[in-house]
Structure formats: C-alpha cells, structure tokens
Amino acid sequence: MLIRVMYKDGTYGLVKDLVLDKLIHTEKIMQFYRSGHWVFIGREPVRGMGGTGTGYRRRQYDADASR
C-alpha cells in the first residue's frame, strides 16, 4: 500500500507503508495521510511513539486476524 507523505521541505510523495516507519523515526516527514485526514508528526500518536508492539507486529496481527 502507498501512503501520501509531506516531507520537511514541503514536497509530497508516495511511499510504501514499511518506508513510512523509517521516515517517521528519522524525522524526515512532517505529516502523512491516514484514514481520511493528515496526521501531523508530534501532534498525534503515530507508529513507534507509544503503545505496545512494533509496526511490524501490529501489521502481522492484523493479517492473521483477517484470515
């Protein structure tokens, strides 16, 4: 799945969901589009910033639950 992101320089791009984790962790993006709205890094909870488990584990759980 591709996710729309806004980089710190104001440009936009589409990235794979696994790349999104790295962009958030390395603070290369300001925001990304999720569930019909823009999520601003630092203002809303995002992957890897609280909660239990990692993004990979969450996605694996979601995949297993859908079977």
- The pLDDT of residue 53 is 47
Distance CA 62, CA 67 (A): 9
Q: Do 29 and 5 form a contact (C-beta atoms < 8 A)? A: yes
- The pLDDT of residue 16 is 94
Q: Do 30 and 7 form a contact (C-beta atoms < 8 A)? A: yes
- The pLDDT of residue 32 is 95
H/E stretch holding 20 reads helix 17-25
- The pLDDT of residue 48 is 55
Over range 3-21, report the average pLDDT. Answer: 95
pLDDT in tens, 16-65: 988 999 999 999 999 999 889 999 998 877 755 544 444 544 555 455 55
